[in-house]
Amino acid sequence: MQIKSNNFIPAAQIGINDAEQAAAVRKGTTGAYNNRLAAVFADGKAHGEAMRRQAAAAKRRTLKHLPDLLEQAEARMQANGTVVLWAESAEEANQHVLDIAQRHAVKRVAKAKSMLSEEIGLNAVLQSADIEVVETDLGEYILQINGEKPSHIVAPIVHKSKESVRDLFIDKHAMPYTDDAGEMTQFARQILREKFLSAEMGITGGNFIIAETGSVCLVTNEGNARLVTTIPPVHVAVVGIEKLVGTVEEYATLTQMLTRSATGQTMTVYTHMLNGPRRPGEKDGPEHSYVILIDNGRSKIYASNYAEALACIRCGACLNGCPVYRSTGGHAYGWVYPGPIGAVITPLLQGLENAKQLPHASSLCGMCKEVCPVDIDLPRMLLDLRHDLVEVGVTDRTWDWGIAGWKTVNKSPRLFELSGKAAARGGRFAPSQLPGPLGGWTMYRSLPSFAPKSFRQMWRERNSDE
């Protein structure tokens, strides 16, 4: 997926002005936010906070021992009969999937939702090799037939209204008119069922891999991942190396926090623990099972001050709580991962120069940290990224000049006083809309009026009166 994150400001403007999208995002995120609150604190505040601390500690332990856990997971998965492949880059990961598909003469792939597959651009690679890829998560399927990208890491079509989905199905599939979401789902299900039955390969991501058992764990609500991982003879899981957890016990805590934080459920409808291919005597499951462990920039993050970002379990709670995301929607962020976690990992994975506006796409209100089930300090990382932007010199020129001017004035008492006087005298003639690049500041706010006298002036006058 081509990165467009340096276009954040105009893209955000489009998102804010799109009334239908704004209403859909507001409704979706508000509902998810409230559901999370109810689910995380269902057994009281203290219990919810204790679970959160436990989940955060489990992920920190995993990160501390990540290299060892990856080796342990590889050995366990191999013992389960899974072929484990490693990929340093997106290209290498895609080549692995392509090789597997060609080895098994695959013509159609049924795919469950995977943000990592979006990150590496897997669909385009398979399609260019004449392999049909069918997204089987309902939201992803809707996006696929409309040529769109997800705008949320858990609810990919949070930006779409029911009416727009209805019109799309009528347009693309001649669906009989209905306003009933259940009927629309049934309609899509019939189309997808036929695709499941004829796919030679199923592709999923992985919410977790448990190192001590070698299990690939998935949480879903639609049941499509169960079909993707049991009907086709080949199953491939593409999983980021940060998705490890050490033990089943840690997994139990993390998966509960994931579902509570993502959708407000104590458990999702389907919870999968996949342990390799079908064994003799088993009735279903793939004949061949592959797991591709993908780095694609994660080792670099692991070695940096931002390693904490790898604790993310992709629950989406920080998106639902973020006032910026809730206003702009996810497409404004210009790459795969939107919201506060996207504002942190996009510059880290794609380069600061390609996402220089994202660290500023936050009011630093702290909500993202407050709702994060693994207590990632996103505001700290956003501030550090702003610092890095200045260090490596990829800030906006106008901004640089503005800061340089502000610094010069504030370092000199004389200039400070003079500028205060000038602002007090000239401020009343200033237009309500500032011109040029300064205009962005007054687009949504009024220019504050300056006090007629500065504090220094009043201080001097008071002292001279005594």
Query: Judging by DSSP bridges, how do beta strands 270-274 and 83-87 pair with one another?
Result: unpaired
> Which among 169-177, 220-228, 239-247, 316-324 is the span making contact with ligand SF4, rule CB under 6 A?
316-324
Other Cβ atoms closer than 10 A to 182:
8
Task: Name the minimum Å distance from CB 387 to ligand SF4.
Answer: 20
Token pair of 45, please? 């505040």
- Distance in Å, CB of 218 to ligand SF4, minimum: 17
Which of 293, 295, 109, 76 minimizes the C-alpha distance to 206? 293
Q: How far is the CB of 209 from ligand SF4 (least distance, A)?
A: 17
Among residues 116, 210, 301, 312, which is the contact residue for ligand SF4, using CB under 6 A?
312
- The contacts found for 381-384 with CB under 8 angstroms, 24 or more apart, are 381/306, 381/308, 381/309, 381/344, 382/340, 382/343, 382/344, 383/359, 384/305, 384/306
- How many alpha carbons fall within 13 Å on the CB side of residue 329? 27
C-beta of 169 vs 306, nearer to ligand SF4: 306
**Which of 122, 292, 315, 352 contacts ligand SF4 by CB under 6 A?**
315
Q: Is 316 in the site for ligand SF4 (CB under 6 A)?
A: yes
Stretch that binds ligand SF4, among 128-136, 351-359, 367-375, 380-388 (CB under 6 A): 367-375
| Binding piece for ligand SF4, criterion CB under 6 A, among 90-98, 128-136, 313-321, 455-463 | 313-321
Q: By CB under 6 A, is residue 367 in contact with ligand SF4?
A: no
- Rounded least distance, CB 379 to ligand SF4, Å: 11
Does 313 bind ligand SF4 (CB under 6 A)? Our answer is yes
Return the number of other C-beta atoms located less than 10 Å from residue 371's C-beta: 24
Query: Residue 102 corresponds to which amino acid?
Result: Q
CB proximity list for 149: less than 8 A, separation 6 or greater:
1, 118, 143, 331, 336
- Work out which of 205, 373, 379, 420 binds ligand SF4, going by CB under 6 A: 373
374 binds ligand SF4, rule: CB under 6 A: yes
Q: Which residues inside 249-268 make contact with ligand SF4, applying CB under 6 A?
A: 261
372 binds ligand SF4 (CB under 6 A): yes
Region from 96-104, 236-244, 314-322, 355-363 binding ligand SF4, contact rule CB under 6 A = 314-322
Q: Which is nearer to ligand SF4, 120 or 374 (CB)?
A: 374
* 174: region left, alpha or beta (phi > 0 left; psi from -120 to 50 alpha): left
Instruction: Count the site residues for ligand SF4 by CB under 6 A.
Output: 14
Backbone dihedral angles phi then psi of residue 456, each to the nearest 5 degrees: -60, -45
- Binding-site string for ligand SF4 from residue 334 to residue 363, where x marks contact by CB under 6 A and - marks none: -------x----------------------
Residues that bind ligand SF4 (CB under 6 A): 261, 312-318, 341, 371-374, 376
